[in-house]
Chains A and B, each alone.
Chain A
Amino acid sequence: AQTVTQSQPEMSVQEAETVTLSCTYDTSENNYYLFWYKQPPSRQMILVIRQEAYKQQNATENRFSVNFQKAAKSFSLKISDSQLGDTAMYFCASHTNAGKSTFGDGTTLTVKP
């Protein structure tokens, strides 16, 4: 069974500052991917960043980066230079090659001007 836990239901950050969203997971699979998705008020699910579990190097995507600690089963998201458009709900997720996916309950991020 897979579980994904996001312990911060809500967070806020000032524009241009840095914020880190936490995620822990558990899985018995050897082959899996980890993701952060963003869901703005439009409800469309948008990929923020992905990490292949067999790669030790942390993924980065412009202002977004992750801290992937495989042994600790931790996968946090760092957003640098926060922008008003980053205001959204953020979901951490685990996908396996077997087809099953598990999502956390989300963190609502508000970027304040």
Chain B
Amino acid sequence: NAGVTQTPKFQVLKTGQSMTLQCAQDMNHEYMSWYRQDPGMGLRLIHYSVGAGITDQGEVPNGYNVSRSTTEDFPLRLLSAAPSQTSVYFCASSYMGDTQYFGPGTRLTVL
């Protein structure tokens, strides 16, 4: 039982590049979320999903896209990377909004 996995662990991009952060869970959780954590701050919700085919925007969705074609996977796409998107990104899953299980995070730097 791997829990929540994220890849890659580290990534450096140039301004304007696009990329996809991968997230997968094997706990059969319907709810999944993406957060970003800037230095010294809490987690801010980017996008979330309450089941396959259903996604919604969180607090800071601009510049990011998501899709949920399966229960297990919830990828986050950066369309055109900007230095303001330098952050640590966490994916999490939960059963019906209860305790969230977090992945180890992806540290993204945009130059």
Could you say which of A12-20, A68-76, A78-86, A103-111 contacts chain B?
A103-111
Q: How far is the CA of A4 from the CA of B96 in the complex (A)?
A: 20
Q: How far is the CA of A43 from the CA of B107 in the complex (A)?
A: 11
Q: How far is the CA of A33 from the CA of B96 in the complex (A)?
A: 10
Q: How far is the CA of A6 from the CA of B42 in the complex (A)?
A: 10
Q: Measured between C-beta atoms, what is the minimum distance from A73 to chain B in Å?
A: 18
Known contacts A33-B97, A33-B98; A98/B50 CB under 8 A = yes
Are B96 and A106 interface neighbours, CB within 8 A?
no
Q: Measured between C-beta atoms, what is the minimum distance from B81 to chain A in Å?
A: 21
Are B99 and A99 interface neighbours, CB within 8 A?
no
Are A91 and B42 interface neighbours, CB within 8 A?
yes
Q: How far is the CA of A64 from the CA of B53 in the complex (A)?
A: 38
Give B55's nearest chain A residue, CB to CB.
A99
Chain A residues 54 to 105 lying within 8 A of chain B, measured CB to CB, are: 91, 93, 95-105
Please pick, from A44, A45, A93, A99, the residue contacting B50 in the complex, using a CB distance under 8 A: A99
Interface centre among B41, B42, B48, by most A CB within 10 Å? B42
Interface centre among A47, A101, A105, by most B CB within 10 Å? A101
Known contacts A44-B104, A45-B102; A99/B42 CB under 8 A = no
Are A95 and B48 interface neighbours, CB within 8 A?
no
Chain B residues closer than 8 Å to A33, beta-carbon distance: 97-99
Chain B residues closer than 8 Å to A91, beta-carbon distance: 42-43
Are A101 and B42 interface neighbours, CB within 8 A?
no
Are A95 and B44 interface neighbours, CB within 8 A?
no
Chain A residues closer than 8 Å to B31, beta-carbon distance: 99
Known contacts A97-B96, A97-B97; A102/B45 CB under 8 A = yes
Give A46's nearest chain B residue, CB to CB.
B102
Give B31's nearest chain A residue, CB to CB.
A99
Are B45 and A43 interface neighbours, CB within 8 A?
no
* 26 A-B pairs with C-beta separation under 8 A: A6-B42, A31-B97, A32-B97, A33-B97, A33-B99, A43-B88, A45-B43, A45-B90, A45-B92, A45-B100, A45-B102, A47-B99, A47-B100, A91-B43, A93-B100, A95-B98, A96-B97, A97-B96, A97-B97, A99-B33, A100-B45, A100-B58, A101-B92, A102-B45, A102-B59, A103-B35
